[in-house]
Structure 1
Amino acid sequence: MIIGVDIGTSLTKAVVFDGAGVSIAQATTPSEVRHLSGGRVEQDLDQVVGTVATVVREVASRVAEPVTALALTGQGDGVWLRDAEGNAVRPAISWLDGRANALLAKWQADGVSRDVFRRTGSGMFPGCAAAILSYLDQHEPEVLDRAVVAGYCVDAVVQRLTGEITVDVSDASLPFLDPRTRQYDEKAIAACGLESRRGLFAEPAKPKTVFHLNSAGAELLGLPSGLPVTAGPFDLPASAIGAGVREPGDGILTAGTTLACQVLTDSADFDPEGEAAGMFLSTPTVGEYLRAMPAMVGTASIDWVCALLGIEVPEIAGLLDSSPPGANGVRALPFLSASGERAPFVDAAARAQFSGLSLEHGRADIVRALCESIAYAARHCFDAAGLSGRLYACGGGVRSAAWTQIFADVLGRPIVIPSDPGVGARGAVLVAAEALGQPYDVELWASSSRTVEFVPENAEFYQSGYADYQASLAAARGLWRL
């Protein structure tokens, strides 16, 4: 009886699955995300740890069998600075953060981003650890002096529950890990001016590493001391595993706060002259990688348009149905994040736009244009990542049948959607079971799903729409300024 816990940016979820991979108990609770001036986005480690305790205690109380292990996954990137006891030395800085926008732009102009990409296959963006740590080294050096480890959300929680300082290779993949050797590239660290802070980086855990609850963690969760705990991979690769991505060329679309597009590959040969964006994520299987393009567009854009137009999220379906493909000529670029875009290109100055509007257009056209533009962004990401096999999808966005149909039509391929939405926790549990020597039937776990077919005439229409999107994007990139 393994409890899977997915520590998202705004929501923490705990799930227990039966032997066929069907959820039999789950609990959720929100996390606090503080949006501050200057594009700063922070979270409180104590509050996040508290959400884990809340959902684990709740879901454990709903099952009759004793809990045998805890499998953790959660948000990646950002910086979670801690001392030797696992206490935060400052609020955690989220992957959504934009305080390092100007620094990232300078690195792009100076060739630092390109140099790091050539060594690790990872494109840097304002919310990645390199940019944030370099910013802090310039503006809050005393904070880094107090810290013992600069890690991520999942390993921060692991330290509080087990006392261990660790990091999963998936989290460490961006931006300093060479995915081929699964070791840090020291020259990449030096390129970012962080040699003096090298000691803050925990060495990546080996595959199938198992930790154990210490007395403090056991008391916090209401579980036995010594209970096995696994840590990672973080939510992007965990979702790929949980959804059923198995063969090279297969991909997964996560329509969440961000639009994460990933493709499984058995080669980490990256084009050193290509766009320095996206990342190669190491997976639990040595020799397999996920080419990830986690765009900054996603359901946060839908929340924004709902607030702007004074509508509720459930109204989106009806609005999409009342505007035809092409949104009656309204077009959009979806780059609403204050920290710009990070995949399939990196530009901290990227901003959204709507065009083609007239007095004849209404809310439905604006909503549909935005949803179509996010689907075009997904196609752009998958083109860059090399999608060639089956496509899976998960995240809050695919709960909308109308929006999922737009994704299928724009991508021109069927989309397989697992019936259970907790694919991140599911992936973490599958990894934990393998580490504990109790593997489940992964094919059985992936069998409970439905497929959304694309509409051929819509797919043909969106071919030209995608060309228009690309042209609009190319024109806009020449105008963006920080």
Structure 2
Amino acid sequence: MYYIGVDLGTSAVKLLLMEGSGKICNIVSKEYPLFFPHPGWSEQNPEDWFAQSMEGIKELTEGIDRKEVAGIGFGGQMHGLVTLDKDDNVIRPAILWNDGRTGEETEYLNTVIGKEKLSQYTANIAFAGFTAPKILWMQKHEPENFKKVVKIMLPKDYLAYRLSGSFCTDVSDASGMLLLDVKNRCWSKEMLEICHITEEQLPKLYESWQVVGNLKAEVAKELGFSEDVKVVAGAGDNAAAAVGTGTVGDGQCNISLGTSGTIFISSKDFGVDENNALHSFDHADGSYHLMGCMLSAASCNKWWSEEILKTKDFAAEQAPIRKLGENQVFFLPYLMGERSPHNNPDARGVFFGMSMDTTRADMTQAVLEGVAFGLRDSLEVARSLGIHIERTKICGGGAKSPLWKKIIANVMNLKVDVPENEEGPSMGGAMLAAVGCGEYPDVETICNKLVRVVDTVEPEPELVAKYEEKYRKFRKLYPAMKELFR
């Protein structure tokens, strides 16, 4: 049987076709536009997601017996606000995870409601990208639109709804809404009251591997699939990537170098850091995880190369970089503000330390190192909790760069294990579908069977020491500039 993993990303939907054995048969990517109607705003049209996903699934399954497709699972960009009216029409463009418009609402939740109460209700505090502040923003700024809201959902759940008719979400993705009681895996009644919404407006909650329904008859007919194809809840992109890289069970770590950058630590036990610098979320394996998320990671390198240097040849830009740990140029990677650990939507990107002999390669190196330092900030929070990490998996577009993997290993002093496939969320979505369809008994089993490490990048003691000194300097830059970002 075949399983489809749908990774609904920020710039494109990536679709993966997997056999039950774990063999990847095909991968297709379909792009769609991203809109920035005001500085710091970020929106997409949910209809674009569905249209491109349908086209992508058709292309993905060309040349196979489509009746052999058994299940579809998801990984998806988190936190986005998708609202539907009584006729299931999208009310307004989706407000995305990297949208920074909710500064006032975030401040209200953290100061008036209070971080202590938020953490008590949801295990997290408010960040500008989370869904709850967006709901409050819509109430205040678009009251006529808000009156029409009958269904509130997350991006990947819009696809599940269009494919199956099931109004659903999973606990890992719902954890990022600031509406979920993460510890008890249920909606927080207190948060619903604070946001003036009802439980009826929110989707039914599932574990990530659970079946939410079958394909609608008309969708199955259009795709040439059986109506028995199961639609599985799926997971938020980072939890799905963790499944795809085998980061399940206790004390496992994954670093994702995608549009955003994350450090993801799986745990059998529920836990919260006292400053809520890391997110405490439910995991797709039925347990929990801690996650540090920076809003701009591989997107920093994409911006630098494509917008500033006007090239898409990332490898050629990195080729002249030789002297690691000796760069005098620093880069603060806060192009869209920052989440972990600073929680500051007003933060911005900064180059620091240029001189007359600074080269193009130095600047490129600074961008790669700045992202690594930003991820190290979150790792330090985890270490302060007594969490001991010695190695990490890695995935995402940035993980295709051998140089960047080497920088990550030495900045963080971790062994970096490279999985056989770096598809992350789409692979995780397909694996969750295989569990939901009964091909495997649970998430840990499929991870143990299918995920293989093909390379390990080891930190080098001399380079680790050099980067330790650089990191200490990097840590002083944000506090020095914080007031200037206001």
State the TM-score, normalized to the length of structure 2.
Answer: 0.92
Contact 2:325 2:463 in 1 (8 A): no
Structure 1 alignment gaps of length 5 or more:
none
Deviations 1:100-155 (A, max 9, x none): 12332444444534431233222322221111100000011221221211110111
Between 144-153 and 321-330, the greater mean CA deviation after superposition: 321-330
Select which of 228, 234, 237 maps to 1:235.
Answer: 237
Partner of 1:421: 422
Matched, 1:462 2:467: yes
The offset of 1:327, in angstroms, is 5.3
1:182 is aligned to 2:185: yes
Instruction: Please state whether the residue corresponding to 1:328 is helix, strand or coil.
Output: coil
Residue matched to 2:275:
275
Q: Residue type matched to 2:305 in 1?
A: C
Query: What is the number of residues matched between the two proteins?
Result: 474
- The residue type equivalent to 1:352 in the other structure is G
- CA separation in 2, counterparts of 1:387 and 1:54? 44
Which position in structure 2 is the counterpart of 1:104?
106
Where does 1:7-18 land on structure 2 (aligned, <5 Å)? 7-18=8-19
Q: Is the 8 A contact 1:161 1:216 kept in 2?
A: no
Match for residue 329 of structure 2? 330
User: Deviations along 1:45-84, whole A, 9 cap, x unmatched?
Assistant: 1111011101111111133462122122211111011135
Give the structure 1 partner of residue 122 of structure 2: 120
Match in the other structure for 1:52: 53
| Per-residue CA distance 1:420-470 (angstroms, 9 max, x = gap) | 232212212222222222117432311253222222211111111111111
The AA in structure 1 aligned to 2:190 is K
1:387 Cα offset (Å): 5.4
Quote how far apart the aligned CAs of 1:311 are. 4.0
Deviations 1:206-238 (A, max 9, x none): 562341011232244332223211121121101
1:453 matches 2:458:
yes
Amino acid across the alignment from 1:283: H
TM alignment of 1:74-93, pairs within 5 A: 74-84=76-86, 86-93=88-95
1:94 aligns with 2:99: no
Partner of 2:204, secondary structure, is: coil
Whether 1:476 and 2:477 are equivalent positions in the alignment is no
> What is the distance in 1 between the residues matched to 2:483 and 2:16?
46
Residue matched to 1:444: 449
Kept in 2, the 8 Å contact 1:278–1:342? The answer is no
Residue pair 1:276, 1:345 contacting (<8 A) in 2 also: no
Question: Could you tell me how far apart the structure 1 residues matched to 2:458 and 2:65 are?
Answer: 40
Secondary structure at 2:69 match in 1? coil
Name 1:148's counterpart in structure 2.
Answer: 150
Secondary structure of 2:364's aligned partner? helix
Report 1:296-375 matches (<5 A). Answer: 296-316=295-315, 318-319=317-318, 321-322=320-321, 324-326=323-325, 328-337=327-336, 340-375=337-372
Partners of 1:251 and 1:387 within 8 A in 2? no
Q: Which amino acid aligns with 1:98?
A: G
- Do the aligned partners of residues 392 and 316 (structure 1) sit closer, same or farther apart at CA in structure 2, a change above 3 Å counting? same
The range that moved more, 88-97 or 120-129, is 120-129
Q: Is the 8 A contact 2:333 2:370 kept in 1?
A: yes
Greater alpha carbon shift after TM alignment, 289-298 vs 425-434: 425-434
Contact 2:16–2:24 (CA<8 Å) still a contact in 1? yes
Matched letter for residue 346 of structure 1: N
- Residues 72-81 or 428-437, more deviating: 428-437
Contact 2:306 2:312 in 1 (8 A): no
Moved more, 76-85 or 199-208: 199-208
Q: 1:265 to 1:222 in 2, by over 3 A?
A: same
| CA offset digits 1:222-267 (Å, max 9, x no partner) | 3222321112112110110110113422111110000011100122
Residues in 2 aligned to 1:185 and 1:10: alpha-carbon distance in whole angstroms = 32
- Give 1:197 deviation, angstroms: 5.0
Deviates more, 1:211-220 or 1:144-153: 211-220
| Matched residue, 2:42 | 41
Per the normalisation by structure 1, the TM-score is 0.92
Shift of 1:202: 1.9
CA distance in 2, matches of 1:324, 1:105: 43
Is the 8 Å Cα contact of residues 70 and 228 (structure 2) preserved in structure 1? Answer: no
- 1:264-294 deviation digits (Å, cap 9, x = unpaired): 01222324xx2233322212443x1111112
User: Whole-Å Cα distance in 2 between the matches of residues 362 and 221 of structure 1?
Assistant: 52
Q: Which aligned pairs between 1:254-293 and structure 2 lie closer than 5 A? A: 254-271=256-273, 274-286=274-286, 288-293=287-292
Q: 1:390: how far off?
A: 3.2
SS of alignment partner, residue 329 of structure 1:
coil
* 1:30 matches 2:31: yes
Question: How far, CA to CA, are the matches of 1:220 and 1:135 in structure 2?
Answer: 38
Instruction: Extract unaligned runs of 5+ from structure 2.
Output: none
The letter for the 2-side match of 1:82 is L
- Note closer, same or farther for the CA distance 1:224–1:247 as it changes in structure 2 (3 Å cut): closer
Q: Distance in 2 between matches of 1:224 and 1:22?
A: 22
Per-residue Cα deviation, 1:404-433 (whole angstroms, up to 9, x for no partner):
111111111111122223221221222222
Are the equivalent residues in 1 in contact too, given 2:3–2:19 (CA < 8 A)? Answer: no
1:200 paired with 2:180, answer: no
Structure 1: distance between partners of 2:83 and 2:239: 23
Query: Matched residues, percent identical?
Result: 25
| CA distance, structure 2, for counterparts of residue 52 and residue 447 of structure 1 | 28
RMSD between aligned residues: 2.1
Contact 1:327/1:368 (CA < 8 Å) preserved in 2? no
Q: Using the TM superposition, give the Cα deviation of residue 194 of structure 1 relative to its aligned residue in structure 2, in angstroms.
A: 1.2
> What is aligned with 2:164?
162
Deviations 1:156-213 (A, max 9, x none): 11111111111111111121212221112222344xx313455422231256234101
Matched to 1:13, the amino acid is K
1:392–1:416: 8 Å Cα contact kept in structure 2?
A: yes
